[in-house]
Amino acid sequence: MRTIQVIVLLIASWCLLQAQEVEITATVSPDVLRAGEQFNLIYTANQELEELNLPEITDFELLAGPSQGHSRSVSNINGKITTVSTWQYTYFLRASKEGKFTIPAASVKVKGKTYKSNATNVEVIKSAGQATPASPGSATDTRKSQGAGYDEKDLFVRLVLDKREAYVGEQIMASVKIYTKTNLSGIDPNFKGPDFTGFFTEPVETPPLRNLQREAVDGDIYYTGVIRKMVIIPQKTGDLTIRSFDLDVAIRREIRRRVADPFFEDFVMPDIQDVPVTLKSNPVKITVRELPSGAPASFKGAVGNFKMNAYLNKTNTVTNDPLTLRIAVSGRGNLKLINEVAVKVPYDMEQYDPVINTRMDNPLSGSKTFEYMIVPRVEGAYDLEPAEFTYFDPDSRQYKTLRSQAFHVEVAKGLNDTLMVIGTGVNKEDVKMLNQDIRFIKTRPFKLSPVGRYMMRSPWYYLSYLFLLVLFVTIYMLREKMVRQNADVAGMRLRKADKYARKRLRKSEALLRQGKDAAFYEELLGAIWGYLSDKLKLPMASLSKDSARSLLVERAVDEETIGRLFSIIDACEMARYSGITANYEKSGLYREALTLITLLHQKLKKV
């Protein structure tokens, strides 16, 4: 039975192998070396190659190859069979001159089809009169095994920046990198990184340092590794200096001890020892330039290169049915410092604070989404103005403004809309005078006056002049007073705030008696918010709990009263949307709201 399973497994793996797409990858090891040293050019494929044609290689000496190798692994996880087969073809080459070279792609044939590998790069530096440094991790470093002391040229740490000049708000990638030609045995796991005073910092997830990479530095070859990465964003202009920092490491060296033997000759016994070393970096200076003048009003500090998209979930709705305006800003730059996008809504719509989501594709780029909830309160046709987002592009050194499309929204009256609407304007029509061109003949009796008797000669005529003058002055004064009152919209709203609030409270009381709970909570909530809007002289679109609290505190309203007021608002909102009332009965909510509006009227009247 077991033999049959093995045969089935091999057949299945062979079928999967035949169905695989051919993949071939070229690598070099090592990719950084000195002139005169050897390296391997390795081609790895997932199927056996019928033919492998090397590209023309003129910069290196081909010593031997190809050396072939084949490996296969079969796994069965939850009944799913996975087969991985690998063929390797290795060529041995020698670097004859220094420079940076590219080995072109090789062409291979599998089942009559031709495929191409990738190109690969090799860096060759000037030959030195000493041997290539031993790979860290082995105990064969001859210089250290002879008891040589710690040399700063063989082991150091640097703060590497991708740019040394930047604008305020521009991203800079900073990496703490260690360079060594000796054997490291450990790095301080509690290392926190440099002190970035004057910068906004965002740590970047860095994998544990397990393998070091060969790298050419100042004409020498080091084994290097990145310990920490972070994105830093300068917050002020001028020459900013990142101070030096310390890094504790341990190096492994071989120590030879002479052992005295009373019977035989003395002998030397080698021993491996870890020696603690504190590395100190050099300070790094960054020149931070100020952003150019003339920034648009919609600029809020975004620096980079961005795109913007806007989406409205619907364009036909009813009153009190919320709309969702989603604005997505994506690109490369200081996304995490972008806190808002300028959005304007009509006065009869209520806009809430956005829900913000940030998704980073990599440490320097990603997208940020702003979801605005907009609630229309009055029926009609509205145009939402395009959203504006301005950023500074360091590459072009210019401010760029992105604008979304405008949205037209039709709002119909909702079925359960009980909110009171106060008109903000009056439509005027021309008044037409009719029947002025032809007078009708009078058919009813009328009185005739004797010839020579005139009204202007009587005392009543002169008294009428005086009466008209007094009437004119009175009407003029009344009209001026009305004009002043109508011009003071905020004052009119303030004077009528209590009247409107009590009217809506009476309406909510009637709804409570009728058992219409949802309408009762909505009307009570509208009464409170409408009263706050009128009393605080703040439009409904700009009114929120935070703004209302700050204005009430400015008007010397105590925290206890403010807390009681917002507890009623929270209870109404919870009951309205979830049907749950906490700590209040419906009649208790009404009485508490009436008491608080009366109390606020007394306190705000004194201010």
Q: In what side-by-side order are the strands of the sheet with 246-259?
A: 184-187, 246-259, 267-280
Nearest to 382 by CA among 352, 408, 418, 361: 408
- The answer to whether 42 touches 27, Cβ cutoff 8 Å, is yes
Which residues are CB-neighbours of 350 under 8 A, at least 6 positions away?
A: 374, 375, 376, 377, 540, 541
Range 469-483 average pLDDT:
84
Strands 155-161 and 120-125: unpaired
| CB-based burial label for 127 (10 Å; 0-12, 13-18, 19+) | middle
Tell me the pLDDT tens digit for each residue of 122-144: 888 887 654 444 444 433 343 34
Supply the pLDDT for residue 429.
38
Comparison of pLDDT for 466 and 267, the residue scoring more = 466
Give the whole-angstrom CA distance, residue 152 versus residue 130.
18
Supply the pLDDT for residue 572.
78
Residue corresponding to tokens 């040293």 = 37
Q: Would the pLDDT of 15 be above 60?
A: no
For 451-493, the three-class secondary structure string (H helix, E strand, C coil) is CCCCHHHCHHHHHHHHHHHHHHHHHHHHHHHHHHHHHCHHHHH
Comparison of pLDDT for 518 and 313, the residue scoring more = 313
pLDDT grade for 174, boundaries at 50, 70 and 90 = very high
Supply the pLDDT for residue 258.
60
Range 161-168 average pLDDT:
91
Q: Would the pLDDT of 585 be above 60?
A: yes
Supply the pLDDT for residue 553.
79
pLDDT grade for 327, boundaries at 50, 70 and 90 = very high
Range 451-468 average pLDDT:
71
Q: Would the pLDDT of 439 be above 90?
A: no
Supply the pLDDT for residue 456.
61
CA-to-CA dists, residue 371 to 341, 351, 355, angstroms: 10, 11, 5
Supply the pLDDT for residue 600.
76
Give the whole-angstrom CA distance, residue 50 versus residue 113.
10
pLDDT grade for 305, boundaries at 50, 70 and 90 = very high
Give the whole-angstrom CA distance, residue 526 versus residue 504.
8
Instruction: Report the range of poorest mean pLDDT among 162-166, 230-234, 330-334, 411-415.
Output: 411-415
Q: Would the pLDDT of 454 be above 90?
A: no
Q: Would the pLDDT of 415 be above 80?
A: no
Supply the pLDDT for residue 306.
92
Radius of gyration for the chain, computed over Cα atoms and rounded to the nearest angstrom: 42
Instruction: Report the range of poorest mean pLDDT among 89-93, 275-279, 469-473, 502-506.
Output: 502-506
Q: Would the pLDDT of 328 be above 90?
A: yes
Q: Would the pLDDT of 286 be above 90?
A: yes
Give the whole-angstrom CA distance, residue 12 versus residue 81.
8
Q: In what side-by-side order are the strands of the sheet with 107-110?
A: 51-53, 107-110, 113-116
Comparison of pLDDT for 274 and 177, the residue scoring more = 177
- The answer to whether 117 touches 102, Cβ cutoff 8 Å, is no
Which residues are CB-neighbours of 137 under 8 A, at least 6 positions away?
A: 183
Supply the pLDDT for residue 581.
54
Tokens of 313: 């979930």
Supply the pLDDT for residue 557.
79
pLDDT grade for 45, boundaries at 50, 70 and 90 = confident
- The answer to whether 51 touches 108, Cβ cutoff 8 Å, is yes
Give the whole-angstrom CA distance, residue 377 versus residue 380.
10
Range 8-32 average pLDDT:
66
Give the whole-angstrom CA distance, residue 383 versus residue 406.
7
Range 104-108 average pLDDT:
86
Tokens of 168: 């305020």
Nearest to 197 by CA among 242, 147, 227, 250: 242
Give the whole-angstrom CA distance, residue 569 versus residue 581.
11
Phi then psi for residue 156, to 5 deg, are -155, 170
Instruction: Report the range of poorest mean pLDDT among 69-73, 109-113, 470-474, 578-582.
Output: 578-582
Give the whole-angstrom CA distance, residue 536 versus residue 155.
67
Range 78-89 average pLDDT:
77
Range 484-492 average pLDDT:
55
Q: Would the pLDDT of 285 be above 90?
A: yes
Comparison of pLDDT for 1 and 69, the residue scoring more = 69
Average pLDDT, the chain: 78
